Amino acid sequence: ARELGAEIVTTADEDIVEGILRVAREQQATQILIGKTTHRLPFAAGLVDKLIERSGELDIYVVGGEDSPETSRRRYRFPEIHSGIQQYLISVAIVLAISLALVPLRPALGYQTISLILLLTVVLLPLKLGAGPVLLAAVLSAIIWDFFFIPPQMTFAIDHLHDVMMFGLYFCVAAVTGVLTARIRAKERAVRVREQHASALYGLTKDLSVARSLDEVVRAAVESIKKYFQSDAVVLLSQTDGDIFTEAHPASTFIIDQRDFGVAAWVYWNEKDAGRFTDTLPSTRATFYPLSGPRYPLGVVGVHDPSGKRLTADQEALLRSFLGQISSAIEREQLHDLARKTLVVAESERLYKTLFDSLSHEFRTPVAAILGATDQLQQERQFADGPNAEIVKDMHDAATRLNHLVQNLLDMTRLESGLLKIKRDWCDVGDLVGTAVRKVEDLLRNYRMTIQVAESLPLIRADQGLLEQALVNILHNVSVHAIGATEVTISANVDQDDCVLVVSDNGQGIPPAELEKVFGKFYRGQGAKRGGTGLGLSIAQGIVLAHGGTLWCANRSGGGAQFILRLPLGSPPPSVALT
């Protein structure tokens, strides 16, 4: 039932039907499933009939099937002896001893008084013995009283009617009194067990609540299992990222071997009990239980009793309650550690962004000065045609690259900080493409450019400056990384409710393993040329996503790569009245 996800509830009650109905109402159940009873006493209401009669608003479902030969054999076997042979022998010995002591006292006391003494003996036996030994003592004392004390003695015959009635009443009183006393003792034991369980759970909860680290939680769990179950325990915790454990916790009191470790791994992945006293891998020395969490398994606990005894049903229920509390405490500490690490990472990220933004802005002024100076030098004849022209050109190219890098860093900072504001306005896609191509015409001078913009393409409402930057970054990436490409094509058309921009080349394409990675921040493909930081495509995708669009890449069937940019068209632009 536990493997199927059921919760086991154990209770004690004088009436089975009342106990079932009480637990059902406490658990707010609406349906009760019960097995069909195939045998019962004549003229007596069965368990199912009583349930249906008293169920009230609860629905009763009776399930059953054909009996197997094994079930039939089990039904008629002798009842199990729960009190132990020793208790039965003790009850017989006590009755015989009292009877022998009363034999010489019969003339003085009379057989009626002797019956009361024997009855007192039977009433006192349940204080130490179970119901079975008490019933045996009641039957034996009645027989001894009849045979040795009721006239005529040494026979089972009874001459007087009042002696017959006294004998019957004696037997009934002895049996009923003994059984009732045994029931009271059983209830007392049940209350004591519940009290012990409640005390054990309280002690474990208290120890776990004061634990301030994962190690203290595991240590408290191992000590509690040792204290309340007299068993050694081994704890194997999963890693922070949810991966399987690699070794046992140092606080464990039971050392496992390689076979036990394999069983623990099976329990971790399947989240089911295994090991000794189970149907799965029972040859191991310990019983392994999973520590389940809401996201992934938290680990495994192995319990080993040095005496080799199996846990009772009550002990197993208590152990599972222990495991639930231990799992909650472990998850609490893991979440606490994760929150602490997240706070450290957040503070580091904030400091990183602050320094990043400050340095990027500080770079812009000197870079702009260098660009302005090199532009002025290139316009002067002595530097444009002289021997220093190549040096001036290299300075201008380096300053341009540095300016592009700083711009990318600033754009990435704005994207990640959420400060990027979209200023939408009506813009023409043809103008957007033309402006972007002119900004990188020096980089694309070795490629044959083809621009195809559909005449029916309407205006789109977007931030033209940001979209130009995204398209510039894509074209810059093509110019640097499109190995073997000689032609670059830019097409724009309408596909349903979207404007689709496609930038393609006829190079070698992108390795399939890198198609999902090229938009990652600071990612540079295998065999990429020197230079660049891997931010261009990441910034372009961020800009497109901020417009509510999508950007991805794919390889063309005829060779080469293509970047597909889709932007929603939205409502059509307002019409302009001509006067």
Q: What is the pLDDT of residues 410-462, one digit of tens each?
A: 666 666 665 567 778 888 888 888 888 888 887 888 888 888 888 888 888 88
pLDDT of 289 reads 92
pLDDT at 219: 92
**Greatest distance between any 2 Cα atoms in the chain:** 152
Closest CA to 416 of 543, 246, 318: 543
Q: What is the pLDDT at residue 287?
A: 92
Mean pLDDT of 101-121: 84
pLDDT score of 301 more than 90: yes
Q: pLDDT tens-digit profile of 6-32? A: 888 877 777 888 989 999 998 889 999
More confident residue, 69 or 127: 127
Average pLDDT of the chain is: 80
Cβ neighbours of 452 (radius 10 Å): 11
Q: How far apart are CA 549 and CA 544, in angstroms?
A: 5
Q: Which range among 68-82, 544-558, 560-574 shows the weakest confidence by mean pLDDT?
A: 68-82
Q: Which of 44-48, 70-74, 517-521, 524-528 has the lowest mean pLDDT?
A: 70-74
Tens-digit pLDDT profile for residues 33-46: 988 776 665 555 67
User: Does residue 87 surpass a pLDDT of 90?
Assistant: no
Share of residues in the chain with pLDDT > 70 (%): 84
Mean pLDDT of the region 268-282: 88
pLDDT band at 78 (very low <50, low <70, confident <90, very high): very low
Distance CA 444, CA 438 (A): 9
**Pairwise CA distance, residues 235 & 219, whole Å:** 9
Q: Which two tokens stand for residue 85?
A: 């042979």
Other beta carbons within 10 angstroms of residue 71's beta carbon come to: 11
The reported pLDDT for the residue numbered 576 is 54
Single-letter residue type at 404: H
247 strand-pairing partners: none
CA atoms within 13 Å, Cβ hemisphere of 11: 15
Asked if pLDDT for residue 303 goes beyond 90, the answer is yes
* pLDDT for 355 beyond 70: no
Banded pLDDT at 79 (limits 50, 70, 90): very low
Distance CA 489, CA 491 (A): 6
Poorest-pLDDT segment among 133-137, 176-180, 485-489: 176-180
Q: What are phi and psi of 291, to 5 degrees?
A: -105, 100
Do residues 325 and 208 make contact, with C-beta atoms less than 8 angstroms apart?
yes
- The predicted pLDDT at position 234 comes to 92
| Most confident range, picked from 39-53, 122-136, 197-211, 367-381 | 197-211
Predicted local confidence at residue 465, as pLDDT: 81
Residue 77 has pLDDT above 60, yes or no: no
User: Does residue 73 or residue 205 have the better pLDDT?
Assistant: 205
pLDDT the model gives residue 76: 45
Residue 569 predicted with pLDDT over 80: yes
How many CB atoms sit inside 10 A of residue 85's CB? 9
Q: What is the mean pLDDT of residues 468-480?
A: 85
pLDDT for res 293: 81
Q: Label residue 396 by pLDDT band (50, 70, 90).
A: confident
Confidence (pLDDT) at 290 = 92
Give the burial string for 514-532 (b: 16+ CB within 10 Å, else e): eeeebbeeeebeeeeeeeb
pTM: 0.52
